[in-house]
Amino acid sequence: MSLYAMDRARLGELYEALGALGRVYLPTRKNGASAFLPYGEEGSEADLSLLLCDKSPKDLFFPQSEELVKFRLTGAEIALQEAARQKEPFVLFGVKACDLQAIEVLDRVFLAEPVDSFYQSRREHATVVALACARPAESCFCTAFGIDPTSPQGPCDAVAWLTESALYLRPCTEKGETIVSCFAGFAPADEKEVAAQQAAARAVLGRLPYGQLDLSRFGEASDELALFDHPAWEELSAHCLGCGSCTFSCPTCQCYDIRDYDTGKGVLRFRCWDSCMYKDFTMMAHGTPRKTQKERFRQRFLHKLVYYPKNNGGLFSCVGCGRCVKKCPANLHMIRVAKALGGEPRAQ
């Protein structure tokens, strides 16, 4: 489809104009951290030049905590009130290629039968604009998963490129076209500047330390049992603190817990993100199936590298965004694990 461009200095006007399509969520700095936040919040600063937000955009489709249903008890009567689904359209602008692939990963979980109607209603009401990367970081390894961050592909309505002077936009759906039509600052443009930025970025990608991380032992055809029984897990997990910083920063972690809260007059049933790193994850009447941190740690990584791909035609559920690299308190991240398991078992 056609390529359009607008003056970078007019981004503020674009964000205002996008308001006609719904609430606009942008990569935003606020209080020393970054996330996809609604445009124009007090004390916040939208910034498309952020390489990656601290928090991934997954919250917008799968919030950290949400109400599912309320039961209200009046005498012997129980009234049931389902939580509303998303009804308002919104725009999610500036999703990087890794986070976009992460939405694809989530879609295959939540939109498969039985469809999660809460997630579905948010996906249907979103206009997603992807944004190419110009300056990847050393912790990026999306290319190892076959992702091209200079030309994002996946469940989006338009792809954008931000250069020194302009924002380029290539719509790929009808919804994407509405972005161009709602702002008069867009004009048809040629590929030259975009191609130059892509070439420069690709040269950097070629020098990423883990851009070609060896994943050949993982994926659809991997030897699941050999990896499960790999001796490296013992040492790898030995100093995991069992916190959820990896899980909650991860754009693809999708596990949740459902709990009932006694309101005094009934029950509020909610769901919230859960972490397989937590001791009480999948706690049942008989206890928990994974009693040690080694088992919990192994679950998280094998889910990304083996179980998910085996169930989803080879698609990995790690997208190489590198958030765990930057955020794990003990630095026990995906690259470390993939390297330790990918090669020959290390001498003890």
Partner 1 sequence: MRELTNAICARAKELLQSGAAGRVLGWAPGEFFYDPTPGVFSEGRLNELVYDGFTAANLSKYCIAESQKEGKVLVLLKPCDSYSLAQLVKEHRVKRENIYALGIPCEGKLDMRKARAKGVEGALSFREEDGQVVFETLYGEVRLAREELLLERCLCCRGREYAGVDETLEYALPELPKRDRFQKVAALEEQTAQERYAFWRGELSKCIRCNACRNVCPACSCVQCVFDNPQSGVAAKANSTEFEESLFHIIRAWHVAGRCTDCGECSRVCPQSIPLHLLNRKFIKDVNELYGEYQAGADPAARPPLVNYTPEDPEPSAVLERGRA
CA gap 102, 261 in Å, rounded: 31
CA gap 84, 190 in Å, rounded: 44
Is 249 an interacting residue with respect to partner 1 (CB under 8 A)? yes
CB 157 to partner 1: min, Å: 28
- Interface with partner 1 in residues 51-90 (CB under 8 A): 51, 54-55, 64-65
Which one-letter amino acid corresponds to residue 181? Answer: S
- Interface with partner 1 in residues 6-35 (CB under 8 A): 30-33
Is 330 an interacting residue with respect to partner 1 (CB under 8 A)? yes
With contacts defined by CB under 8 A, how many residues of the chain interact with partner 1? 53
Residue in 222, 247, 252, 317 binding partner 1, rule: CB under 8 A: 247
CA gap 260, 249 in Å, rounded: 25
Residue in 8, 125, 269, 326 binding partner 1, rule: CB under 8 A: 326
316 Cα distance to chain centroid: 13
Is 294 an interacting residue with respect to partner 1 (CB under 8 A)? no
CB-CB contact of 246 with 324 (8 Å): yes
What b/e readout covers 31-42, taking b as 16+ CB neighbours within 10 angstroms? eeebbbbebeee
Is 135 an interacting residue with respect to partner 1 (CB under 8 A)? yes
Q: What is the phi-psi region of residue 40: left when phi exceeds 0, alpha when psi lies from -120 to 50, beta otherwise?
A: left
Write down how long the chain is.
Answer: 348
CA gap 95, 26 in Å, rounded: 9
Is 107 an interacting residue with respect to partner 1 (CB under 8 A)? no
Nearer to partner 1, 90 or 273 (CB): 273
Is 332 an interacting residue with respect to partner 1 (CB under 8 A)? yes
CB-CB contact of 92 with 251 (8 Å): no
Is 245 an interacting residue with respect to partner 1 (CB under 8 A)? yes
Q: Which residues pair with 262 in a beta bridge?
A: 267
Binding string to partner 1 for residues 213 to 242, with x set by CB under 8 A, is what?
Answer: ----------------------x--xx-xx
CA gap 38, 51 in Å, rounded: 18
CB-CB contact of 188 with 3 (8 Å): yes
Is 248 an interacting residue with respect to partner 1 (CB under 8 A)? yes
Q: Which residues pair with 131 in a beta bridge?
A: 160
CB 101 to partner 1: min, Å: 21
CA gap 221, 217 in Å, rounded: 8
Binding string to partner 1 for residues 148 to 187, with x set by CB under 8 A, is what?
Answer: ----------------------------------------
Nearer to partner 1, 4 or 248 (CB): 248
Nearer to partner 1, 112 or 200 (CB): 200
Residue in 45, 124, 138, 190 binding partner 1, rule: CB under 8 A: 138
CA gap 348, 345 in Å, rounded: 9
Chain residues binding partner 1 by CB under 8 A are: 30-33, 43, 51, 54-55, 64-65, 135-139, 204, 207-210, 235, 238-239, 241-245, 247-249, 257, 259, 270, 272-275, 278-280, 283, 325-327, 329-333, 335-336, 339
